[in-house]
Amino acid sequence: MADTKLYISYNQIHQLIDRAVKNFGLGDNYNPDLIIAIGGGGFIPARILRSFLKAKNGRNIPIQAIGLSLYEELPNAGQNGIPETPGTQVTKTQWLNFGGADTLVSLLGRKILIVDEVDDSRKTLVYAVSELQKDILKQEEQAGIAPGSSNTEIGIFVVYNKEKPKGENLSSEIMHRYYPAATTPDRWLFFPWDCTTDIEEHTELAKKSFGGNTSS
């Protein structure tokens, strides 16, 4: 059976993020002061993105991690030819709470950028935005200010947006700050951090997946 995966290399991700920062004016048109990486696929893109933003503005943007899962926990899913199967419900496995129930990181007045590696069904991104908006509202209430008056903004950066009907929709306000570095067909994307064999071979397969263009 033909291999239908699209192989992605570290070089491709690095080049796409570089190009997206320039094309979208990130750091200028939208200048985040807090990056929230969705684990585990958003961790490496978030770290690369922070470097490019630091090169523009000379400061390290803090990165916070959240854990959300939409994919069914199948043995060896994502490896050895076993595809990850999207589930129907997002599960929160880690959130922005440190040290105790009342030590949530301050979100008020922030320009937040959520980072993930792929926008597939969009359910995970919608869930992340919804939960953040709940936290923002709670913090506004605790601070004694009117809902929505903290001027907190949320944007989204994804390395790949899949061309497909989405299971859920983001608001027009969020979509105004939606930054996909690239768009791909609705196929299984095989990222370099999922590779457990020869990374050099994986990189060569990535070049072939995009016809030799490492930044597609």
* Per-residue tokens: 75: 């043995």
Q: Cα(81)–Cα(78) distance, rounded to whole angstroms?
A: 7
Cα-based distances in Å from 84 to 76, 113, 168, 182, 205: 9, 26, 19, 21, 20
User: Beta strand pairing status for 189-190 and 111-119?
Assistant: unpaired
* Per-residue tokens: 133: 């908006």
* Per-residue tokens: 183: 């768009």
Active-site residue flag, 120:
yes
| 142 phi and psi angles, rounded to 5 deg | -65, -30
* Per-residue tokens: 203: 């990189």
From the candidates 119, 120, 135, 194, give the one annotated as an active-site residue.
120
- Cα atoms in the 13 Å half-sphere on the side-chain side of 205: 17
Beta strands in 12-141, from DSSP E residues, in sequence order: 34-39, 63-71, 86-94, 111-119
CB within 8 Å of 128: residues ≥ 6 apart? 36, 38, 66, 68, 114
What residues act catalytically?
120
